[in-house]
């Protein structure tokens, strides 16, 4: 496999564009007649490193390429895709920072009417399956121009995948979009290499040695020994004895469409082959062609991360949006990303599939410089950094103690079923970063709004004390997700005892700091492996602990997640998948059962009482119906005027908490 290319081998241009151009007039002002690369995105163009197109665009600009942006084009014809002319090298296409189907629909498949990545928060500015539609329009606009897919939508649809919204298995997005190459994960290394090769005249088909790409091929490259995915759990010795490089053959697209256990096996193998240190190429037959996936990209070094975040971003939305508010920008404009990746491996989450489980951290100096830049350049900055974190708040600089062990490991999680003894869980670097950040002149508070991995935090009482004393704004949200072992084992989340230990440390730290702070737990309804009894027990826990959920999260089967494979296949890909020997997993699929699970989380809502009473009687738990403090719902018609008991319950939402 091609070694990791340096990100900044070429000298940067003498002068960076104030914004990457979105019009011919802006191109003319820069002295350009054409663009080398045109990036098409489903998001508004915000020139900030929290937006993927800004990173990719500025990175390519730093290589000397001329890069233009087409943002949220009208997809009903090819004309808007001609706005910047024919790109010399390629179109880069992405749905944006979110999968377009997750962005547009709720977990109950209802249409959302807003979009945080659009000026004014308006919905409907991107089509369903955004990347696929944009790619087709690019091809219509300029025939023969290579099309490169990227971003999270393409990344999570890189193989044949279950699509919740159509309730069927779809082909890889690459052949459906008729694109030339797909870049998955955080694709800085790959996009630089691909751009350089296109510039020297190479075809996409010749890039099958670049890490982190998917290609369609008529046949496999020569010299590889195939190992069938069905043998991996029992025949790793065969792989070790193979002559030459090994490629893993996944069940074909047609097989996973017809056989749910084959789908689960493909999911299991994909996740096992996710460590850049030992992953092998994957191949999946699609009709008469082969989908070829190279191993994941080599993570960025700290120096490279610093360079990426030091690129000359304007740190603002494109001026063409005028005074229109872009909700996602308003949320993150005073926040700082300090790391990437997550080694938690939660089965319902797609972070690991996209960013990887190896933590990539910025240096302390780079982070502090960005805070100073926010302070000095943001006109509405009042001294408060809204968040300092990443996919999680407290994995900064954590890594395996032994690089050789890390390179050989195939565990999907470093913290489940328990924290790996090889994992360095020290919070010292993060504590020092917090202290230096809040000591900067003009900084009143640095908040932590990213999710805290509480089973790691309990390893450092000093960290919890630092967090509570200085970085919590009245409440802290964490995600135990459930209380019962059945669903927790399928989520790969720790038992509720870890939450209890963290809560004890949190409350102790709050008392010591003289603060009245609240810990807000989040829970998921209808996750695979969750029974009605599990949800009932969770509701009883909520009531016993005085929580009343105002908004709740129902499991959404996002593409390529392990829990999605459970939902679709009915078997557990966390264990070996063999016909007749796979571990079964139940899933709440019908709307009625999904509503019931959600209703248990909102046991206090009178609208849910008839449904809950019916379910409790059916479950043989009519003893939980009545007015007593140990009972879940009252026995009679909803009494809308009945006041909540004073001083006992906490009402928590995604926006806040109040007594």
User: DSSP secondary structure string, 387-453?
Assistant: EEESSSSS-TT--BS-HHHHHH---S-SSSSS--TTB----HHHHHHHHHHHTSTT--EE---SPP-
Quick check: 461 pLDDT over 60? yes
Model confidence pLDDT, tens digit, residues 220-267: 888 899 999 876 554 454 555 567 799 999 999 999 999 999 999 999
pTM over 0.75: yes
Q: What's the DSSP call for residue 608?
A: G
Please give the pLDDT value at position 351.
Answer: 86
Strands (E), 304-412: 316-317, 335-337, 339-340, 360-361, 384-385, 387-389
Residue located via tokens 């089965």: 347
Please give the pLDDT value at position 222.
Answer: 86
Least confident range from 43-52, 208-217, 292-301, 470-479: namely: 470-479
Q: Which residues on adjacent β-strands are paired with residue 149?
A: 93, 182
Residue pair 371/356 in contact (Cβ under 8 Å)? The answer is no
Please give the pLDDT value at position 221.
Answer: 87
- Burial (CB < 10 A; 0-12, 13-18, 19+), residue 510, is buried
Residue pair 59/309 in contact (Cβ under 8 Å)? The answer is no
H helix or E strand, kind and range, residue 475: strand 475-481
Radius of gyration of the chain (CA): 25
Please give the pLDDT value at position 233.
Answer: 57
Task: Determine the Cα–Cα distance for residues 115 and 123; give it in Å rounded to an integer.
Answer: 5
Alpha carbon 538 to its chain centroid, in Å, reads 26
Could you give the angle at the alpha carbon of 465 between the alpha carbons of 464 and 469, nearest 5°?
120
Please give the pLDDT value at position 230.
Answer: 77
pLDDT greater at residue 647 or residue 510: 510
Please give the pLDDT value at position 658.
Answer: 27
Question: For the domain bounded by 334-472, which CATH number is listed?
Answer: 3.30.750.210
Residue 657 banded pLDDT, cuts 50, 70, 90:
very low
| Nearest in space to 60 (alpha carbons), one of 13, 104, 19 | 13
Token representation of residue 156:
């999570």
Q: Which residues on adjacent β-strands are paired with residue 227?
A: 248
pLDDT greater at residue 637 or residue 82: 82
Model confidence pLDDT, tens digit, residues 185-229: 999 999 999 999 999 999 999 999 999 999 999 998 888 999 998
Please give the pLDDT value at position 1.
Answer: 59
**Averaged confidence pLDDT in the chain:** 92
619-656 burial, b if ≥16 CB within 10 A, otherwise e? eebeebbeeeeebbbbeeeeeeeeeeeeeebbebeeee
For residues 585-606, give the mean pLDDT: 95
Residue located via tokens 């547009």: 104
Quick check: 542 pLDDT over 70? yes
Please give the pLDDT value at position 232.
Answer: 59
C-beta neighbour count of 16 within 10 angstroms: 15
pLDDT greater at residue 477 or residue 651: 477
For residues 476-485, give the mean pLDDT: 94
Model confidence pLDDT, tens digit, residues 115-138: 999 999 999 999 999 999 999 999
For residue 504, which phi and psi values (nearest 5 degrees)? -60, -45
Looking at the chain, the domain(s) classified CATH 3.30.750.210 span 334-472
pLDDT greater at residue 587 or residue 2: 587
Least confident range from 125-129, 330-334, 449-453, 648-652: namely: 648-652
Residue pair 148/178 in contact (Cβ under 8 Å)? The answer is no
């Amino acid at each position: 496999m091609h070694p990791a290319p340096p990100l900044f081998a070429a000298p940067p241009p003498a002068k960076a564009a104030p914004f990457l151009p979105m019009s011919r007039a802006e191109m003319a002002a820069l002295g350009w007649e054409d663009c080398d690369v045109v990036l098409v995105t489903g998001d508004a163009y915000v020139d900030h490193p929290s937006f993927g197109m800004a990173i990719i665009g500025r990175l390519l600009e730093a290589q000397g390429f001329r890069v233009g942006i087409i943002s949220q084009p009208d997809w009903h014809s090819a004309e808007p895709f001609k706005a910047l002319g024919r790109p010399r090298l390629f179109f880069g296409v992405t749905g944006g920072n979110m999968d377009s189907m997750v962005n547009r629909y709720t977990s109950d498949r209802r249409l959302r009417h807003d979009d945080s990545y659009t000026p004014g928060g308006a919905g409907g500015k991107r089509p369903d399956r955004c990347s696929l539609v944009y790619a087709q329009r690019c091809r219509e606009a300029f025939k023969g121009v290579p099309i490169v897919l990227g971003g999270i939508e393409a990344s999570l649809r890189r193989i044949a995948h279950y699509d919740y919204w159509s309730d069927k298995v779809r082909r890889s997005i690459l052949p459906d979009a008729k694109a030339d190459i797909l870049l998955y994960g955080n694709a800085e290394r790959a996009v630089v290499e691909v751009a350089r090769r296109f510039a020297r005249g190479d075809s996409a088909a010749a890039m099958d040695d670049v890490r982190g790409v998917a290609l369609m091929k008529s046949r496999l490259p020569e010299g590889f020994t195939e190992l069938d995915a069905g043998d991996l759990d029992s025949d790793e010795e065969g792989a070790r004895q193979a002559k030459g490089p090994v490629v893993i053959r996944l069940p074909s697209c047609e097989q996973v469409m017809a056989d749910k256990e084959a789908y689960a096996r493909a999911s299991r193998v994909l996740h096992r082959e996710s460590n850049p240190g030992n992953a092998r190429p994957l191949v999946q037959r699609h009709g008469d062609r082969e989908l070829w996936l190279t191993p994941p990209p080599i993570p960025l070094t700290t120096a490279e991360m610093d360079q990426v975040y030091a690129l000359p971003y304007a740190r603002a939305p494109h001026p063409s949006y005028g005074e229109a508010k872009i909700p996602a920008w308003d949320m993150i404009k005073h926040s700082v990303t300090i790391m990437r990746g997550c080694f938690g491996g939660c089965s319902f989450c797609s972070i690991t599939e996209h960013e990887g489980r190896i933590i990539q951290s910025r240096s302390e100096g780079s982070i502090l410089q960005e805070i100073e830049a926010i302070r000095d350049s943001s006109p509405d900055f009042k001294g408060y950094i809204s968040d300092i974190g990443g996919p999680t708040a407290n994995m900064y600089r954590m890594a395996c103690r032994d690089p050789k062990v890390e390179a050989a490991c195939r565990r999907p999680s470093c913290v489940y079923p328990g924290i790996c003894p090889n994992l360095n869980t020290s919070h010292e670097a993060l504590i020092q970063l917090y202290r230096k950040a809040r000591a900067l002149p003009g900084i009143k508070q640095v908040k932590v709004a990213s999710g805290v991995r509480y089973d790691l935090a309990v390893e450092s009482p000093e960290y919890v004390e630092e967090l509570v004393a200085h970085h919590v704004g009245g409440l802290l949200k964490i995600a135990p997700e459930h209380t019962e072992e059945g669903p927790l084992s399928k989520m790969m989340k720790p038992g509720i005892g870890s939450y209890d230990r963290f809560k004890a440390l949190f409350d102790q730290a709050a008392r010591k700091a003289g603060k009245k702070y609240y810990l807000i737990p989040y829970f998921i309804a209808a996750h695979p492996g969750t029974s009605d009894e599990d949800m009932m027990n969770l509701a009883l826990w909520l009531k016993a602990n005085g929580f009343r959920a105002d908004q709740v999260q129902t499991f959404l089967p996002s593409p390529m997640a392990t829990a999605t494979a459970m939902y679709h296949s009915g078997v557990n890909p966390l264990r070996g998948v063999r016909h007749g020997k796979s571990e079964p997993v139940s899933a709440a699929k019908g709307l009625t059962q999904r509503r019931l699970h959600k209703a248990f989380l909102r046991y206090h809502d009178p609208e849910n009482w008839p449904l809950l009473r019916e379910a409790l009687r059916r479950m043989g738990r009519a003893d939980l119906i009545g007015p007593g403090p140990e009972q879940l719902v009252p026995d009679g018609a909803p009494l809308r005027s009945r006041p909540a008991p004073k001083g006992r319950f906490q009402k928590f939402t995604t926006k806040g908490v109040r007594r």
